[in-house]
Structure 1
Amino acid sequence: MQIPLQQYGALLANYLKPQWGAVVGLTIALLTSIALQIINPQILSYFIDTIFTGGEAQSLPWAALAFSAIALLTQVFSLSATYWGETVAWTATNALRSDLVAHCLQLDLSFHKAHTPGELLERVDGDVNALSRFFSQLVIHVFGNGILLIGILVVLWFENPFAGMSLTLFAGVALSVLLGLRSGAIAPWAEYRQISAEFYGTLGEQIAGREDICANGAVPYVMYRFYALLQHWLPVYHQARFASTVLWFSSVGLFTLGNAIALTLSAYLWQQNAITIGTAYLIFHYTNLLSQPIERIREELEQLQQVEASIYRIRELLSIQPRLKQSVGVPLPSTACAVTFENVYFRYQGQNPDEWTLHNVSFSLPPGQVLGILGRTGSGKSTIARLLLRFYDIQSGEIRLGEGAIAKTCLSQLRQRVGLVTQDVQLFQASVRDNLTFFDPHISDTVILEAMETLLLSPWLKSLPNGLNTQLGAESSGLSAGQAQLLALVRVFLKNPSLVILDEASSRLDPQTEALLERAIDRLLSNRTGIIIAHRLQTLKRADRILILEQGKVVEYGDRQTLLSQSQSQFAQLLNAQTIEHP
């Protein structure tokens, strides 16, 4: 796996351009620090030559003072470069995280069904964390030390061409060896990060389902899965670390060879009276200094193995395009709208091509009326709700809200005009107010309280310890299932949708809470089109029309009262028997 260098440049330019001021500060501090590191040994060489040749002793205190001042300034500018580098890194990585989160939220529901939250968390946070070095230390230590390396070699050429040529050859060989060894470790690090993502995905999944796991005695199986993942993870980590160790071992051997070359070269040139003792020291010092940028570059190249793997995975994630085509076409009505399914065929991704979740489904619901949908588990009831929110696109046919096809409607507008309440309500660890408004500060408390009053839920709100400021815990802790459903109804009411879909919204409630919920639903459906998906017939009393599905096909559709009057209709038979499959 090799990533072209221009992709590094494109990534850097994209996230460093907005903070050019900080980048300029980093560049100035970095270049100044490098220049001071090259200058200071010259002062020490002058100091040594002056003492050895018996030169003017009066200049030595000034040389010592200059050496100390430059050494101090070198540390100041190095610290400044590190500060600017970290500032740039965090700003760039936070921007990249935001882009990745926004991109993931735009992807289809099928993508999120295929990837666990833990895996996506590792992609968005773990991989991006690895890139913090790419934006800061990588720039400082690879780019900066590359300049330092060139600067040292240039000075050595001026001091003695033979020494400059010899150490230039050494530096070239050293870098070539290290670069050649680096490429072999990219694939193991990529595999390591992928297994890491799978591990955290599994961990998140098991933590979320811990109650069911413990209740059903599945702890041994879960531990076995962890054991299998860790067993697979360890040899991959060993392989990746072995490649890095080869780099370290090679660099140590190369630096030892470099010191030997410097000592031999200095001794030979001094014996030939080609250099002074100060220059001999200078060659040896610069050789030691030469090992510093090579070593730092080697360390960063070792990190770059992981960075390349992360960049590859990030680019792979960003390359995934949503299947849903965005449109800004037909506007939706702001009042109750008609719902029309016309010869709709739909199957989920990965489903057998010969099987359809919805097979030639057609019905028409007039505006302001309520449709009740019945059917066995897996008959396609909830799929209709997902299609109306356009979580998926159909393979054939057409779905219309009002006069416009939803495929030609702006997604954000569509999801604003369609409200969905399911039996599983997602709540956030925040206040009741934030959970009702989805953290929208523009919705005032007055509007929220009016909605609660309209839905006859003010007594419920007053029952909460701190009203709208009541803090909800993780996973809906602090609210019962019924209270969570009531909160979801207020959410939908605040959207003021044209179409309201209730998917088994009252299937798990006690009679008292269900009665409260039913009164709120009556208010919510007033002057709106509604779809109620249910297993229990008593929840369909308010329905104007009934749709019964079986294996994705419409087996009965019509006016509720008409179907009740027909003793042979499935709806009448179900109502008479008072039995229907429970989920």
Structure 2
Amino acid sequence: MTRPTTAPERPVGPPPRPAGPGFGRGPMAAMGMPAAKAMSFGPSMKRLLGRLSPERGMLVGVVLLAITAVGLSVSGPKLLGRATDIIFAGILGRQLPAGLTTQEAADAARAAGHGNVADIITSNHVVPGHGIDFGALGTVLLWAIALYAGASLFSWLQGYLLTTAVQRSMFRLRTDVEAKLHRLPLRYFDTQPRGELLSRVTNDIDNIAQSLQQTLSQLLTSLLTVIGVVVLMLVISPLLALIALVTIPISMAITTRIAKRSQKMFVAQWKNTGALNAHIEEAFTGHELVTVFGRQREVQRSFEERNEDLFRASFGAQFVSGLIMPAMMFLGNLNYVAVAVVGGVRVATGAISLGDVQAFIQYSRQFMQPLTQVASMANLLQSGVASAERVFELLDAEEQVPDPVDAVVPTTRRGRVEFEHISFRYSPDQPLIEDLSLVAEPGQTVAIVGPTGAGKTTLVNLIMRFYELDAGRITLDGVDITALRREDLRAHVGMVLQDTWLFGGTIRDNIGYGDPEASDEQIHAAAEAAFVDRFVRSLPDGYDTVLDDEASNVSVGEKQLITIARAFLADPSLLILDEATSSVDTRTEVLVQHAMAALRADRTSFVIAHRLSTIRDADLILVMEAGRIVESGTHEELLAAGGAYQRLYASQFRGPADSEEDAVTGKAPAVVTPGRRG
């Protein structure tokens, strides 16, 4: 049956999940916490942009539309400057005597000692005696309206295509993450808090989408705007362009210095946000326990401390990062003053027209705005890349051993299970199961008992291939389980766990989860066999009663009965019951035991139990201690042997004082009959 093994110094279990920040660790502990600072920005950004490669056609369209929209937009001030020149020339021309040519008017002004006026008349092509040419002015203004309307249209089309490309990419990313989760081994989930996984699948992907949506559009538009504005400023006046360009290195230096300081504060803000969210979620999820143990003041004090930390970090981060905009505005105003003064002097000398100066001032404003936007996008882009790293870390996690290509298709469903010299350990340096052999014949009920942490659940998890063996093999109906697809293997197995799992839906849907093709008659039959029918019919909506997220509208025992009915409906050849009746009352347990007896008929069953009274009729009882089987036999055989099973059985029917005395003295307690006190 089994081979003696050397027990480890202490029971070994799955690797513990790391504790999350805050009050404790709950399923939503990491929800709402923005990503931390990216550790390798360049490679991660490159990989993130690579996720957009299937949408390269749309992205090319986005770039072309952005170039067109920006080109039209930056042409507007130059065109409006032409309108200003028409108005100025008309006002000046009306003040000059009619009948003169432009050159004659300029010569007359120069002869009168007004050289600057002469230069203005020449540079603006003033026609003496003529007022404002409203026809030309109207044409220019219509072209300006058309330019801005076209720019808006192309910008809208660019945003539409970019949104489509980003959301399609995020759709594929979510699909890849979902598929990845199904390929990860149970060992991975043992080491990850549920809230952390939820945060990566939901918050981080949403943060990536938001970051790409905002930064790609604004960065592309800002860079194109800077290029277009610089080109037109150089065309209008290289001297004024040089004055405006001087502010670039100054603004970059200021932005970089502020960003470095604010980045550290943002990291502190995100960390404290996560700690506060975890505290709130866990404190209010366990509100009943907090109230029962009178820990409201401690919870309130902890909340105030975390809230204060978040306030300080958030205030510092927002205040420091908020200095970028005033600094850019200050540089922009200095640039405006310099351009206005030098431009005015140039207009007075006739070196440049008034409309060109007006256009240049608008360009100088447009020139500083995209630089400010790029600076403000730095933190958002950094946050998005940090979230991408967290998602990529999940996608890069080591997967479970893939199913064989030429998998064996089961032809029989007898339920014979054989362990052949198996060995398994969670940690390489801590043995758990060593060289264990066991045969469970079809129709047998194998009970596994022992203290907490003895490895009982691990044994059945190996049957399900939730973990892979280190040595040996397990066969089901003579076929190595590694030669089967996991889907085919688990189709043979029905499980009822101690922790009930019900989803939001009707009672009928939850029972029908065991067999999606089952009819209402089959669902009702399974419910009757598991004694679910007796309480469901007392509910106003019967089987159509909708269970909420935590199934709080039915009792704990009733939830367990529903999961048992689900196992009935699945009709498996191999049944695993992990403390399946621990949550029901004594009377219900008796009824469930009868139902379990019918469910186990003609099936191989593995029953994990702490209440030994529930497994007296088992065909084989295995006693596990510290990861190894120390005894095996029937109920009567093990009691007669006077070993570990006899001590476990007797301890359940003796008083606490007797059990403590036996533990101290090492004396085996006497066997007593249930219902009588020894």
| Alignment TM-score, normalising by the size of structure 2 | 0.75
Unaligned runs of 5+ in 1: none
Shift, 1:392, TM fit: 3.3
> Which residue matches 1:257?
334
> Which residue matches 2:296?
219
1:8-157 equivalences in 2 (<5 Å): 8-15=45-52, 17=54, 21=58, 23=59, 26-27=62-63, 29-54=65-90, 56-104=133-181, 106-157=183-234
Write 1 or 2 for the structure with the bigger share of helix: 1
1:144-543 equivalences in 2 (<5 Å): 144-171=221-248, 173-175=250-252, 177-179=254-256, 181-182=258-259, 185-186=262-263, 188-190=265-267, 192-322=269-399, 324-328=400-404, 331=408, 333=410, 335-348=413-426, 353=429, 355-358=430-433, 361-406=436-481, 409-438=484-513, 445=520, 447-449=522-524, 451-452=526-527, 458-459=533-534, 461-543=536-618
User: How many pairs align?
Assistant: 576
- For residues 226 and 193 of structure 1, what CA distance do their matches in structure 2 show? 16
- For residues 282 and 347 of structure 1, what CA distance do their matches in structure 2 show? 75
Structure 1 161/574 Cα, relative in aligned 2: closer, same or farther at 3 Å?
Answer: closer
Question: Is 2:30 the counterpart of 1:7?
Answer: no
In 2, are the aligned partners of 1:535 and 1:580 still within 8 Å (CA)?
A: no
Q: 3-state SS of the aligned residue for 1:131?
A: helix
Structure 1 240/441 Cα, relative in aligned 2: closer, same or farther at 3 Å?
Answer: farther
> Which residue matches 2:119?
none
In 2, are the aligned partners of 1:337 and 1:498 still within 8 Å (CA)?
A: yes
> Which residue matches 2:666?
none
Q: 3-state SS of the aligned residue for 1:44?
A: helix
> Which residue matches 2:673?
none
Shift, 1:138, TM fit: 0.9
- For residues 272 and 408 of structure 1, what CA distance do their matches in structure 2 show? 91
> Which residue matches 2:35?
none
Shift, 1:425, TM fit: 0.3
Shift, 1:90, TM fit: 4.5
Q: Which amino acid aligns with 2:383?
A: Q
- For residues 460 and 654 of structure 2, what CA distance do their matches in structure 1 show? 20
In 2, are the aligned partners of 1:103 and 1:318 still within 8 Å (CA)?
A: yes
Unaligned runs of 5+ in 2: 1-37, 91-125, 127-132, 657-678
Shift, 1:16, TM fit: 6.4
Cα deviation, 1:153-177, whole Å, max 9, x if unaligned, reads: 1122222333344434544553465
- For residues 123 and 110 of structure 1, what CA distance do their matches in structure 2 show? 18
Shift, 1:332, TM fit: 7.0
Structure 1 474/245 Cα, relative in aligned 2: closer, same or farther at 3 Å?
Answer: same
Shift, 1:544, TM fit: 1.0
Q: 3-state SS of the aligned residue for 2:51?
A: helix
In 1, are the aligned partners of 2:460 and 2:576 still within 8 Å (CA)?
A: yes
In 2, are the aligned partners of 1:85 and 1:135 still within 8 Å (CA)?
A: no
Structure 1 360/254 Cα, relative in aligned 2: closer, same or farther at 3 Å?
Answer: farther
Shift, 1:28, TM fit: 5.5
Shift, 1:406, TM fit: 4.2
Structure 1 195/360 Cα, relative in aligned 2: closer, same or farther at 3 Å?
Answer: farther
Identity %: 27
Structure 1 53/75 Cα, relative in aligned 2: closer, same or farther at 3 Å?
Answer: same
Cα deviation, 1:436-480, whole Å, max 9, x if unaligned, reads: 345986655455345446667555554443343220023221222
Structure number with larger C-alpha Rg: 2
- For residues 207 and 391 of structure 1, what CA distance do their matches in structure 2 show? 33
In 2, are the aligned partners of 1:119 and 1:201 still within 8 Å (CA)?
A: no
| Alignment TM-score, normalising by the size of structure 1 | 0.85
Shift, 1:104, TM fit: 4.3
Shift, 1:488, TM fit: 0.9
- For residues 240 and 466 of structure 1, what CA distance do their matches in structure 2 show? 53
- For residues 24 and 439 of structure 1, what CA distance do their matches in structure 2 show? 49
In 1, are the aligned partners of 2:420 and 2:472 still within 8 Å (CA)?
A: yes
Shift, 1:368, TM fit: 2.6
In 2, are the aligned partners of 1:535 and 1:581 still within 8 Å (CA)?
A: no
Q: 3-state SS of the aligned residue for 2:550?
A: helix
Structure 1 220/116 Cα, relative in aligned 2: closer, same or farther at 3 Å?
Answer: farther
Shift, 1:216, TM fit: 2.7
Structure 1 176/340 Cα, relative in aligned 2: closer, same or farther at 3 Å?
Answer: farther
Structure 1 residues 287-296 or 177-186, which shifts more? 177-186
What RMSD, in angstroms, separates the aligned Cα atoms of the two structures? 3.6
Q: 3-state SS of the aligned residue for 1:543?
A: coil
- For residues 422 and 272 of structure 2, what CA distance do their matches in structure 1 show? 40
- For residues 573 and 57 of structure 1, what CA distance do their matches in structure 2 show? 109
